[in-house]
Amino acid sequence: MRKSRAMNLGTGLFLLLGFAALFFLTTQTTSHGLAFRSAPSYEVTAKFGNIGDLKVGAPVSMAGVNVGRVAGISFDPRDFKAVVALRIDDKYNQIPTDSDASIYTQGLLGGQYIGLGPGGAQTFLKNHDQIVFTQSALVLENLIGQFLANFNKNSSQPAAGAAAGGKPK
Amino acid sequence: MIADLWNSMNDSLERVGDMSRFLLRILAQVPRSLARPQLIVDQVFNTGALSLVIIMLSGLFVGMVLGLQGFELLRRFGSEEALGTAAAIGLVKELGPVVTALLFAGRAGTALASEIGLMRATDQLAAMEMMAVDPVGRVVAPRFIGGVIAMPLLAAIFSLIGIYGAQLVGVQMMHVDSGSFWSQMQASVNLRDVYEGVVKSGVFGVACSLIAVYEGYHAEPTAEGVGAATTRTVVTSAVTVLFLDYLITAFFLK
């Protein structure tokens, strides 16, 4: 009988450990864990011309500190812009209304995140406000296109200059 | 030679069919053995709790190796912070369920097969039938259920320990930033990934337990027969697990 009790205890411990591990995997390794302890927060929106690879759940940071998360992404069919809902912690409720939001990339393989730059206004962002000043994500293809266009312009001018400078000799 | 091939194909097909029928027989006995939970608890202890040490040790080392290799690989791209993501996804979706199933087949599957095989060899099963006790309900079904319950939990523990192993190497030894290790993991691991791992380990649990009890129950009633049944358990389980792993992965692919 004693052995049976020890076995039951061991089995119970094993089950407890197993379910604790499952719970940990579902809450701590995924972003869903945040839903459990949803800190009081408020939501503001920002419109971007292009959000690139931004995903729901991406961090919103200010001076490199995580102040919130992207809560939703939708498309506004009237002005053809992406509407990004930012859920910001209530702790950070003193963000000036004229702050700007830009989309940056973390590292080479990292995802994209939103960086907020503080403005100078005396009024602060409230629930359902909109951030007006935004900067879209840098799309690598556009960047390369611009670079090539500039490169062509620049390389044709010095060539002409060199030819002009070469004449007097 | 072609005839040999044909015969062996027929044999394996026959085994698959026989195994499926055996599974149905077990499932028919499940409600009756659920009425005696003590039998199942004992088997969860035998297959699950006793496999805990080997699972945790293996998980730790697999996680540490993942940490080292992942760090080496990711450093070439300058994104060591993605180590947490790489380790977590690799462990939760793939390594956790598969390595656990292989260890499970080696640790618990062989024990089940040889135990039931020995019962067969010593006529204990025949004696039960004489007493009008169905050995499938009394011996096989509780062991099967115990294995099915234990396997997903073992896989979850394996993944958990593995992630901490990767964290140990990555954060403590290689000085990856602890914050980005966890936050990048949380940002890019979906509930769907965890779900995939749980489904996999559940299916593997059914497959490994079924193979073990089937081979034991149908073992030749000799010393060699029990040995051969144990060997077949490991070989068949390993191949089946890897094959099923491919199928489930393909099924979960978006």
pLDDT reported for residue B76: 86
* Amino acid B239: pLDDT: 93
What pLDDT is attached to residue A165? 45
Asked if the model's pLDDT at residue A168 lies above 70, the reply is no
Q: In this structure, what token pair is assigned to residue A25?
A: 């995997």
Percent of chain A topping pLDDT 90:
5
Of residues B219 and A112, more confidently modeled: B219
* pLDDT at position A163 over 50: no
Whole-number pLDDT of residue B35: 87
Does residue A9 carry a pLDDT above 60? yes
What is the pLDDT at residue B96? 94
Residues of B in contact with A15 (CB under 8 A): 44, 48, 149, 153
Residue A169 is assigned to a structural domain of this protein: no
A82 shares its domain with A115: yes
Grade residue A161 by pLDDT with cuts at 50, 70 and 90: very low
Mutate to test the interface with A, among B39, B45, B158 (most CBs of A within 10 A): B45
Task: Please state the rounded mean pLDDT for residues A123-133.
Answer: 87
**Mean per-residue pLDDT, A36-45:** 74
pLDDT at B82 over 90: no
Structurally, how many domains does chain A consist of?
2
Which residues does chain A have within 8 Å of residue B79's beta carbon, measured at their own beta carbons?
Answer: 107-110
The C-alpha of B9 sits at a distance from chain A's nearest C-alpha, in angstroms, of 40
Picking from A17, A22, A29, the nearest residue to B186 by CB comes out as: A29
| A-contacting residues in B 36-55 (Cβ below 8 Å) | 38, 41-42, 44-45, 48-49, 52
pLDDT at A53: 77
- pLDDT given for residue A110 in this prediction: 64
Q: How far is A81 from chain B (nearest CA, A)?
A: 25
Whether A56 contacts chain B with CB within 8 A: no
Looking at the fold, whether A25 and A50 belong to one and the same domain comes out as: no
Question: Are A55 and A135 members of one domain?
Answer: yes
Looking at the structure, tell me whether residues A10 and A65 fall in a common domain: no
CA A45, CA A64: separation in Å to the nearest integer? 20
Average pLDDT, chain B: 90
- Please judge whether B78 and A14 are an interchain contact, meaning their C-beta atoms are less than 8 angstroms apart: no
Scan for tokens 């930033």, then name that residue.
B177
In this prediction, residue A166 carries a pLDDT of 44
Are residues A45 and A17 located together in one domain of the fold? Answer: no
Q: What are B235's two structure tokens?
A: 């070989």
Read off the pLDDT band of B24 (50, 70, 90): very high
Residues A48 and A129 in one domain: yes
User: Between chains, do A18 and B183 touch, taking CB under 8 Å as contact?
Assistant: no
A38 has a pLDDT exceeding 60: no
Both A63 and A120 in a single domain? yes
Give yes or no: residues A63 and A99 share one domain: yes
User: Is residue A27's pLDDT more than 90?
Assistant: no
**Does residue A140 register a pLDDT over 80?**
no
In three-state form (DSSP H/G/I as H, E/B as E, the rest C), the secondary structure along chain B is CHHHHHHHHHHHHHHHHHHHHHHHHHHHHHHHHHCCHHHHHHHHHHHCHHHHHHHHHHHHHHHHHHHHHHHHHHHCCCCHHHHHHHHHHHHHHHHHHHHHHHHHHHHHHHHHHHHHHHHHHCCHHHHHHHCCCCHHHHHHHHHHHHHHHHHHHHHHHHHHHHHHHHHHHHHHHCCCCHHHHHHHHHHHCCHHHHHHHHHHHHHHHHHHHHHHHHHHHCCCCCHHHHHHHHHHHHHHHHHHHHHHHHHHHHHHCC
Is pLDDT larger for residue B178 or for residue B208?
A: B208
Inter-chain CB proximity A10 and B157 less than 8 Å: no
Q: Is the same domain home to A46 and A95?
A: yes
Mean pLDDT throughout B70-92? Answer: 87
Q: How confident is the model at residue A136 (pLDDT cuts 50, 70, 90)?
A: confident
Inspect the interface and report whether the beta carbons of A58 and B188 lie closer than 8 Å: no
User: What pLDDT sits at residue A156?
Assistant: 64
- Whether the pLDDT of residue B241 is over 90: the answer is yes
**Average pLDDT, integer, range A146-152:** 83
Asked if B159's CB is within 8 angstroms of A25's CB, the reply is yes
Residue A39 scores a pLDDT above 70? no
Among the ranges given (A25-39, A53-67, A133-147), the one the predictor scored with the smallest mean pLDDT: A25-39
Range of the domain at A79: 41-143
Q: What does the angle CA B145 – CA B148 – CA B150 come to, to the nearest 5 degrees?
A: 105
Residues A20 and A81 in one domain: no
pLDDT mean over B221-229: 91
Do A65 and A49 belong to one domain?
A: yes
Say yes or no: A49 and A127 in one domain. Answer: yes
Q: Which carries the bigger pLDDT value, residue A48 or residue A34?
A: A48
Best of A25, A65, A70, A109 to disrupt the B interface by mutation (most B CBs within 10 Å)? A25
* pLDDT tens digit sequence for B133-146: 888 888 899 999 99
Q: Decide if A133 is inside a domain.
A: yes
CB contact under 8 A, A110 and B79: yes
- pTM value? 0.71
Least CA distance to A69: which residue of chain B? B187
Q: How confident is the model at residue A149 (pLDDT cuts 50, 70, 90)?
A: confident
Does some domain include residue A152? no
Chain A partners of B38 at a C-beta cutoff of 8 Å?
Answer: 4
Arithmetic mean of pLDDT, B171-196: 83
Does some domain include residue A164? Answer: no
How far, in Å, CA of A129 to CA of A99, rounded? 12
Q: Would you call A4 an interface residue with chain B, using a CB distance cutoff of 8 Å?
A: yes
Give the pLDDT mean for A10-39: 75
Residue B170 pLDDT > 70, yes or no? yes
Residue A108 above 80 pLDDT? no
Interface confidence, given as ipTM, is: 0.76
B91: pLDDT confidence band, cut at 50, 70 and 90?
very high
pLDDT of residue B92: 92
Banded pLDDT at A107 (limits 50, 70, 90): low
Q: Is the pLDDT of residue A109 over 80?
A: no
